Amino acid sequence: MQDEPVFDEASLSADPLDLLRQWMADVVRADLPEPSAMVLATTSADLRPRARMVLLKSFGAEGFTFYTNRTSRKGSDLAEVPRACLLFPWYPMQRQVIIEGPVTALTTEQSEPYFHSRARGSQLGAWASRQSSVLGSRAELDDRYAELSKRWPEGHEVPMPDFWGGYRLTAQTIEFWQGRVNRLHDRFRYARVGASWSVSRLSP
């Protein structure tokens, strides 16, 4: 039988971000698709839980950053209840990471550099899609995109929409989960305590 991965107290970092960087590097080396894809779970004002996949664009001591249409369901949820949960589901490696905390919207100035780093088609797509709104047909979306392509032809800068931007989740807890046989998994949860972190082993 193949040896199980070692994941115990001795292998933990004092800073969970260091451990997350190690696990991210493992995912990249394993050549898994979309290593930065994560489930973003939000709650609406009437306490309806909702989840969807988004892409993590950066993370560090300041938080975890992603971008979206602010008029989408996730955008309205975050405006009403500015807290969220992020989940990285790395199934082939039998690993998952769960991050929880408050979310703040980035300013226009903070969001624009990333918007302009995107492919031109993605920039136009951000304008064309009023995310989560009802469409009469696919043609409606395609026609809107074609019209925007004429408004800002190749070589012209596409401005960032005022309804689009970034969000940053400040981690209060980060949980690392490593699968083991007999469902006796290893789980460690880091919890923010002032400027440092406490670590607890959780029962699987």
pLDDT tens digits, one per residue of 15-43: 999 999 999 999 999 999 999 999 999 99
Instruction: Quote the pLDDT of residue 132.
Output: 86
Question: What is the pLDDT averaged over residues 120-129?
Answer: 96
With a pLDDT cut of 70, the percent of the chain lying above it is: 98
DSSP letters along the chain, please? Answer: -PPPPP-SGGG--SSHHHHHHHHHHHHHHTT-S-TTEEEEEEE-TT--EEEEEEE--EEETTEEEEEEETTSHHHHHHHHS-EEEEEEEEGGGTEEEEEEEEEEEPPHHHHHHHHHHS-HHHHHHHHH--TTS--S-HHHHHHHHHHHHHHS-TTSPPPPPTTEEEEEE--SEEEEEE--GGG--EEEEEEEETTEEEEEEE--
Fold of 9-118+162-202: Pnp Oxidase; Chain A (2.30.110)
Instruction: Quote the pLDDT of residue 2.
Output: 53
Question: What is the pLDDT averaged over residues 175-196?
Answer: 94
Instruction: Quote the pLDDT of residue 131.
Output: 87
Tell me if residue 183 is catalytic: yes
* Domains of the chain by residue range: 9-118+162-202
Work out the mean pLDDT of the chain and round it to a whole number. Answer: 95
Q: Which two tokens stand for residue 201?
A: 């082993």
**How confident is the model over 135-146, as pLDDT tens digits?**
999 999 999 999
Model confidence at 3, in pLDDT bands (50, 70, 90)?
low
Instruction: Quote the pLDDT of residue 94.
Output: 95
Which positions ≥6 away from 140 have C-beta within 8 Å? none
Instruction: Quote the pLDDT of residue 1.
Output: 39
Q: Which of 118, 144, 183, 192 is catalytic?
A: 183
Question: What is the pLDDT averaged over residues 47-54?
Answer: 97
**How confident is the model over 62-120, as pLDDT tens digits?**
999 999 999 999 999 999 999 999 999 999 999 999 999 999 999 999 999 999 999 99
